[in-house]
Each structure stands twice: as C-alpha cells, then as structure tokens.
Amino acid sequence: MVELLRKKPIKENIGEMGPALAILLATLVISTFITEFTFTFGAQALWKTLLRFLRLSLFLTLPLFLLPSICSLVEGFLNRGNRHLIQVQEDRDTAIRALKNWVIRPFQGIGLSMLLATRLLSLLQLYTGSSITVQAILPPGQFNAGRFFSAMAIAVMVSLLLSLLWTLDDLGVRHYNRKTGEVRMIGKYVGLLLPTLFGFYGIISLFESNTRLLAVQYITQMTVVLYPPFVVFNVMHSRYLKSREEVLVKRLKAAPVTILMDGQEATISKA
C-alpha cells in the first residue's frame, strides 16, 4: 500500500483521494468541536476517527496483493468448454474517474458491507434465539474483540469480491462463447446491482425497530464512516491494476483481442 502511494507525488495522491480526505477532515472537525457525529466526540475523536479510517483502509487494501492468486483460482471455472476468457482491448479502462471511483464504487462497497452485516446479524439471531437490534452493529464505547474481528472479516470478504469484479471490468476481460460468438461481461449485475439493491435492503431493516429520524441518522453515520476507506480502496485498486495488468491477464489466461465491426456484426480478431 505504501509503495503504491509513493509512486505518485503527494499533490496527485490528494487529488485522486480528494473526496475521502474532505469527508475525513469534516468528520474530525465536527466530532471534535461541535457534536458526536460518528459515534465519538471530543479530543478522543481525533485519534479514534483516524485510527478507524486507517484500520478500515488497510484491511480493504491489503487483500489486493492476493489478486494474482484469486485470478488463478477463478480462471479454471471460467475457461471451460466453448467458453473462455478474452481481453477486449477497446474495453480496457484503468483510469481514475470521478463518477466511477468517487461515487459508484464506494457505494457498491458500502452496500455490500451492509448486506453482509445484516446477514451476519440474522445468523446470530437464529443461533442465540434472541432479538438483535441495530445497536449490535454500531461502534461500542470500548474495544470488543468479537466485533473487531467480525468487522475486519467483512472488510476482507468485500475487498476480495469487489476487487476481482472490478479487475475483470477494468481490464476488459469478457466471457467469449466460441460456438455462438457471443461476448459477455462477467458479473455485471452481481458487481453493481447486488451490493446496491440488496445492501440497501439491509439498511431499510433499521427502520423496523427505530424511528425514521433515528434510522436516517444511523445510515448517515455509517455511510460517512465507510465512505473514505472505500474511496482509498478503489483508487488503490486502479493503481494496482496499472502496475500488475500483465500478470493478472496472464493468470486469467485471457487472450487479447479486438472487436471488429462490420455493419451490424461483430467479429473477434487477435490483437
């Protein structure tokens, strides 16, 4: 992670992660001098907020170094029979863009995290046989080992799933059916719609046992906490792809091709 940051000057790092740093700074000011904004207030908000941001960013980013191994693992499932992976050169896009990296992908991560958290709460409720309220996922006043490891496990799972889907999308890796000539994106709806829609289903469940105003407050607070780390994560992901693209494509065994348009028909040609 440090090496990826060093590859660019400080000014460019700040520019690419601007929204994350702005939200983090606003959180520090409000939580320290005005009111309890993200589950902490006063002087302790300075170190608790920064520590939480660094911890989440670290656990989201470190799994990136497992990407080559993950690509080798999924390659065997995706290259089968008449279907195999190709890299469409026209679809490659590893650039950092405002809409993609500052809006869509951070909220994908937040939605998927909410989904996994609510599913975990449901399992705990079935196991214990007692009702579990939203307070169970809000940060406690003191350290709790069980909550800490559960949160970190969710962060790692979210990181592995999204980084793989983003890699396939950004590198232009597609599923090609030799028999029909059809080219499809992999996990298009899983990568975008599932975290967003089903994640917000989990958030809506907060309204069942709380007033609407309190539920909106919880949602806002959790979003503010998670947004900066997810911006850092997906920006670092884009940088990692640029430096390791050749290795990842090789691990996926995706043949580089171009799409040749002839009227209304598309044909595959080796790049």
At residue 42, the pLDDT reads: 73
Least confident residue range of 88-92, 141-145, 166-170, 222-226 = 141-145
Return the top range by mean pLDDT from 155-169, 188-202, 215-229, 256-270.
Answer: 155-169
Contact 208, 79 (CB under 8 A): no
Q: How confident is the model at residue 218 (pLDDT cuts 50, 70, 90)?
A: confident
Give Cβ neighbours of residue 67 (< 8 Å, ≥ 6 apart). Answer: 163, 164, 167, 240, 244, 248
Question: What tens digit of pLDDT does each residue of 42-62 get?
Answer: 777 788 888 889 999 999 999
List residues bridging with 184 in a β-sheet: 175
Q: How confident is the model at residue 205 (pLDDT cuts 50, 70, 90)?
A: low
The two three-digit tokens of residue 82, written as one number: 């008449």
CA dist 23 to 27, 155, 224, 230, 256, Å? 6, 20, 7, 12, 40
Q: Which residue bears the tokens 């896009």? A: 93
At residue 133, the pLDDT reads: 56
List residues bridging with 86 in a β-sheet: 174, 255
At residue 197, the pLDDT reads: 63
At residue 265, the pLDDT reads: 42
d(CA 185, CA 176): 9
Alpha carbons within 13 angstroms on the beta-carbon side of residue 13 total: 13
Contact 184, 91 (CB under 8 A): no
Mean pLDDT of the chain: 79
At residue 180, the pLDDT reads: 78
Which is more confidently placed, 215 or 94? 94
At residue 60, the pLDDT reads: 95
Q: How confident is the model at residue 4 (pLDDT cuts 50, 70, 90)?
A: low
Across residues 69-94, what is the average pLDDT? 87
d(CA 209, CA 200): 16
d(CA 54, CA 71): 27
At residue 264, the pLDDT reads: 39
At residue 72, the pLDDT reads: 93
Helix residue ranges per DSSP H, the chain: 2-6, 10-16, 18-29, 44-61, 67-78, 105-128, 145-170, 188-193, 199-204, 212-252
Contact 165, 187 (CB under 8 A): yes
The two three-digit tokens of residue 77, written as one number: 């499932």
Least confident residue range of 123-127, 146-150, 237-241 = 123-127
Across residues 186-215, what is the average pLDDT? 62
d(CA 64, CA 155): 12
Contact 71, 248 (CB under 8 A): yes
Helices 44-61, 145-170: axis angle to 10 degrees equals 50
At residue 266, the pLDDT reads: 47
**Is a pLDDT exceeding 60 seen at residue 151?**
yes
At residue 263, the pLDDT reads: 41
Burial of 169 (0-12, 13-18, 19+ CB in 10 A): buried
Q: Which residue bears the tokens 């951070």? A: 106
Which is more confidently placed, 170 or 9? 170
Which is more confidently placed, 235 or 258? 235
d(CA 56, CA 228): 9
